[in-house]
């Protein structure tokens, strides 16, 4: 069972000596022995995380409404919301830059529960539609839009629906498909691809002690629960760091080593550049951006009024009725009721921004790729475009971190920081992401063989990164 990255068939040739040395250098035997000793304790960690997960999602639904002055120190609902959006999300995003997808293998109760269900389930062959590389992109987009229309950051019922629902779905998927594998983590998890792309920025890497040439293709014949062909592993995306491949003192398995954050993307030509990943960066950043822009766009209310009036003029009065509460926010006790008009306007705005963002970033990467070829690169235009598309990952990471981790800065305000100071910190984070993206573009162009005219070749992709940073700055600040 194999899949080949989109538009990257030529990557089937063996990795260069440089990429082998870069990916497997300076293994850490002491760290490997420590991780091997930790492995038997992981099931207990997963059970503990499940209890915490259950408490944070279920208990708040049955607690009384908090007062407007309530804080995380004196109200259970506010505390649960802070733990979810002020602790969990920021820690997951911060950790991925350091340790890759360690959350998935060390702590995530969803993946562990899915794998446990798989051991006692039907173990059917995974359908082709699940193995399609676009499936995790669709999963992320659907969950992001549903989270916005239900108010997942504001209402405990919506948080229980989104996270509890995905938990139940993860167990069902594990029970139905795969054989001692994590089909959910590899193909369907809404944030699996998100964390996988950003794991390429991580400082910790697991790489083969002895390389074999060829693609890191999807395979059943492996101890890896996410189907990685371990001797041919060349990318961090699918590695959930479950520690099963850490075998200290043996030539088999993977070695643990450290690298400069972002190194894999700087050398992306040696690490299986994948068009589907780049498409996700463009679409994922865009749909998340749309979820914030509709709140601040000055012309959104005018659009909403015009669309609503047109439907009423056509006799379509249903557009003004509230929809089902599993699809949109219907909370009269909190003075928030979304109607079908709101549902279609919000989701339509998010999809529109997503498409526009993908087009803009795609053209930016294409422009830099064309200039790279003009200045001497021999890489094919599409492959060069895909590689340059990865340069947008850092600015997207910082923007998503600020946007989704809405409660991250609440304690700082409580400790005396002003709103203006918090805004300055957020601005600096977006600026840091932008500068990192520019550095990546510079390094990727170097890898494409561009020496003369590299600064000029950077201009289109730099404009794309700057546009994304500016849009997110407007959306969240």
CB of 85 within 8 A of CB of 405?
A: yes
- Cα–Cα dist 49/42, whole Å: 10
- Cα–Cα dist 416/434, whole Å: 28
DSSP per-residue codes, 402-447: HHH-TTTTHHHHHTT--HHHHHHHHHHHHHHHHHHHHHHHHHHHHH
Give a three-class secondary structure readout of 310-325: HHHHCCCHHHHCECCC
* Residue in the structure block whose two tokens are 């946007």: 403
- In terms of Cβ atoms closer than 10 Å to its own Cβ (0-12, 13-18, 19+), residue 469 is buried
Nearest CA to 404 out of 429, 432, 421 is that of 429
- β-strand partners of 247: none
CB of 237 within 8 A of CB of 200?
A: yes
- Cα–Cα dist 169/175, whole Å: 10
Q: Three-state DSSP class for 372?
A: helix
Structure letter (DSSP) for residue 236: S
* Six-digit token string for 304: 């909403």
- Cα–Cα dist 64/42, whole Å: 35
CB of 276 within 8 A of CB of 192?
A: no
- Cα–Cα dist 313/319, whole Å: 11
* Residue in the structure block whose two tokens are 């100071």: 421
pLDDT at 248: 86
- Cα–Cα dist 290/155, whole Å: 20
CB of 288 within 8 A of CB of 20?
A: no
Q: Which residues contact 124 (CB under 8 A, 6 or more apart)?
A: 176, 177
pLDDT at 262: 94
pLDDT at 72: 82
CA distances from 91 to 14, 86, 95 (A): 36, 9, 6
Q: Three-state DSSP class for 293?
A: helix
Q: Quick one: angle between helices 419-447 and 381-389, nearest 10?
A: 150
Nearest CA to 32 out of 186, 207, 195 is that of 207
Q: How far is CA 206 from the centre of its chain?
A: 20
Q: How far is CA 188 from the centre of its chain?
A: 12
DSSP per-residue codes, 333-387: GGTEE-BHHHHHHHHHHHHHHHHHHHHHHHHHHHHHHHHHHHTT--S-HHHHHHH
The terminus-to-terminus CA distance of the chain in angstroms comes to: 46
> Where are the chain's structural domains?
9-268, 273-476
CA distances from 26 to 17, 205, 256, 257, 262 (A): 15, 11, 8, 6, 17
Segments of the chain with pLDDT less than 50: 1-25
Q: Three-state DSSP class for 342?
A: helix
- Cα–Cα dist 218/10, whole Å: 17
CB of 388 within 8 A of CB of 445?
A: yes
Nearest CA to 292 out of 175, 457, 148 is that of 148
- β-strand partners of 85: none
Q: How many CB atoms lie within 10 A of CB 138?
A: 13
- Cα–Cα dist 130/125, whole Å: 10
- Cα–Cα dist 452/447, whole Å: 13
């Amino acid at each position: 069972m194999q899949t080949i990255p989109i538009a990257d068939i030529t990557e089937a040739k063996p990795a260069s000596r440089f990429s082998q040395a870069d990916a497997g250098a300076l293994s850490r035997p002491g760290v490997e022995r420590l991780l091997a000793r930790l492995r038997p304790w992981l099931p207990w960690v997963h059970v503990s995380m499940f209890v915490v997960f259950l408490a944070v999602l279920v208990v708040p639904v049955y607690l009384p409404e908090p007062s407007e002055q309530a804080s995380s120190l004196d109200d259970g609902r506010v505390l649960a919301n802070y733990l979810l959006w002020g602790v969990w999300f920021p820690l997951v995003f911060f950790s991925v830059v350091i340790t890759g997808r360690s959350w998935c293998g060390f702590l995530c109760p969803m993946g562990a529960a899915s794998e446990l269900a798989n051991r006692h389930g039907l173990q059917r062959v995974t359908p082709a539609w699940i193995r399609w590389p676009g499936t995790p992109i669709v999963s992320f987009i659907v969950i992001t839009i549903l989270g916005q229309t239900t108010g997942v950051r504001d209402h405990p019922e919506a948080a229980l629906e989104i996270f509890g629902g995905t938990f139940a779905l993860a167990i069902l998927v594990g029970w139905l498909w795969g054989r001692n594998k994590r089909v959910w983590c590899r193909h369907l998890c809404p944030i699996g691809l998100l964390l996988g792309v950003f794991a390429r920025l991580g400082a910790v890497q697991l790489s083969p002690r002895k390389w074999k040439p060829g693609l890191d293709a999807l395979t059943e014949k492996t101890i890896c629960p996410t189907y990685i062909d371990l001797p041919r592993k060349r990318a961090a995306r699918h590695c959930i760091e479950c520690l099963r491949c850490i075998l200290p003192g043996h030539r088999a398995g993977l070695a643990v080593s450290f690298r400069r954050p972002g190194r894999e993307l700087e050398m992306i030509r040696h690490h299986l550049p994948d068009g589907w990943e780049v498409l996700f960066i463009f679409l994922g950043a865009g749909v998340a951006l749309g979820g914030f822009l509709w709140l601040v766009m000055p012309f959104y209310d005018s659009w909403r009024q015009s669309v609503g009036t047109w439907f009423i003029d056509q006799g379509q009065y249903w557009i003004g009725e509230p929809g089902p509460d599993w699809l949109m926010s219907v909370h009269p006790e909190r003075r928030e009721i979304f109607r079908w008009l709101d549902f279609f306007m919000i989701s339509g705005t998010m999809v529109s921004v997503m498409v526009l963002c993908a087009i803009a970033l795609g053209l930016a990467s294409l422009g830099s790729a064309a200039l790279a070829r003009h200045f001497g690169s021999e890489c094919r235009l599409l492959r060069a475009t895909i590689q340059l598309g990865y340069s947008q990952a850092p600015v997207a990471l910082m923007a998503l971190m600020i946007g989704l981790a809405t409660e991250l800065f609440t304690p700082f305000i409580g400790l005396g920081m002003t709103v203006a100071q918090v805004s300055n910190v957020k601005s600096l984070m977006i600026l840091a992401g932008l500068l990192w993206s520019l550095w990546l573009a510079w390094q990727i162009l170097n890898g494409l063989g561009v020496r003369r005219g590299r600064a000029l070749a950077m201009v289109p992709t730099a404009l794309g990164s700057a546009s994304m940073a500016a849009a997110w700055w407007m959306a969240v600040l």
